[in-house]
């Protein structure tokens, strides 16, 4: 990954490298969204563990891309938008990846066997949110279709609100019906990690919105 991008960086105009890297990061994240949905929707534990392993690999790929964005940021004085916005956007995308991976890692390590409908619903919302984020990021390159960016960001915000609601309902349900405190803690940890992934998608959308207000 890194070495391939190093080759690219000789041919791509200096400030264009950021669009390329952000697109790679957003596509990778979108792939994680899909894999997450697959992981929580299979009831075969071996299949699930294969998907969880895939998510770990994707998360490492994401780490490499983030690292390269920071490196390019250190090397380039000219950037297509504010340095701090590049930093925030890369960090937010990286955080989404961390929380997606963190949620399935908890399922694996804590031997969570029961995957509730709430968990599946949150995974679905995260997947949608990563798709919208990819759309918004891809439009940053030429900024010709601002409406498309804004609409995607509005939907990411709306998805985050829905996720809050699903999370609150899920935890309220646990407190009402789960009598085994240790199982409750496990389930709550998984839900909370998933919910944070949508928070970070919203952070990314907020950065994108502030970028287009400034540059459009």
Residues 6+ apart with CB under 8 A from 96: 29, 32, 126, 130, 133, 197, 200, 201, 204
Establish if 84 lies at the interface with a second copy (CB under 8 A): yes
User: Is residue 68 classed as helix, strand or coil in its secondary structure?
Assistant: helix
Nearer to a second copy, 145 or 185 (CB): 185
Residue tagged 């790679």 (tokens): 24
Task: Select from 2, 146, 154, 172 the one that contacts a second copy (CB under 8 A).
Answer: 172
Stretch in the footprint of a second copy (CB under 8 A) among 2-10, 14-22, 29-37, 183-191: 183-191
Residue 136 beta carbon to a second copy: minimum distance, rounded to whole angstroms: 16
Establish if 100 lies at the interface with a second copy (CB under 8 A): no
Sign of CA dihedral 159, 200, 29, 126: negative
Establish if 52 lies at the interface with a second copy (CB under 8 A): no
Q: At what angle do helices 117-139 and 146-177 cross, to 10 degrees?
A: 160
Compute the CA torsion angle 82, 61, 32, 143 (nearest 10 deg): 30
Establish if 181 lies at the interface with a second copy (CB under 8 A): yes
Residue 2: count other Cβ atoms within 10 Å of its Cβ.
10
Establish if 158 lies at the interface with a second copy (CB under 8 A): no
Residues 70, 86 contacting (CB under 8 angstroms): no
Establish if 169 lies at the interface with a second copy (CB under 8 A): yes
Residue tagged 């669009």 (tokens): 19
Establish if 177 lies at the interface with a second copy (CB under 8 A): no
Residue 141 beta carbon to a second copy: minimum distance, rounded to whole angstroms: 20
Nearer to a second copy, 75 or 148 (CB): 75
In the complex, the residues that contact a second copy under the rule CB under 8 A are: 70-71, 73-75, 84, 105, 109-111, 168-169, 171-172, 175-176, 178-179, 181-182, 184-186, 188, 206, 210, 213-214
């Amino acid at each position: 990954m890194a070495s391939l991008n190093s080759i690219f960086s000789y041919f791509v105009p200096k400030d264009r490298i950021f669009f390329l890297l952000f697109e790679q990061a957003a596509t990778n994240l979108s792939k994680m969204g899909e894999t997450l949905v697959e992981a929580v929707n299979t009831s075969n534990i071996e299949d699930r563990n294969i998907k969880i392993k895939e998510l770990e690999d994707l998360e490492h790929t994401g780490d490499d891309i983030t690292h390269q964005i920071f490196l390019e940021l250190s090397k380039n004085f000219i950037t297509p938008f504010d340095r701090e916005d590049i930093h925030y956007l890369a960090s937010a995308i990286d955080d989404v990846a961390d929380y997606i991976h963190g949620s399935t890692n908890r399922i694996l390590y804590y031997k969570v066997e029961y995957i509730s409908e709430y968990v599946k619903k949150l995974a679905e919302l995260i997947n949608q949110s990563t798709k919208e984020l990819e759309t918004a990021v891809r439009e940053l390159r030429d900024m010709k279709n601002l409406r498309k960016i804004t609409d995607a960001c509005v939907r990411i915000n709306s998805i985050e609100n829905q996720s809050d609601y699903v999370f609150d309902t899920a935890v309220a349900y646990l407190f009402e019906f789960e009598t085994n405190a240790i199982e409750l803690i496990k389930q709550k940890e998984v839900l909370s990690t998933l919910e944070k992934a949508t928070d970070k998608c919203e952070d990314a959308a907020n950065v994108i919105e502030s970028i287009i207000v400034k540059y459009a």
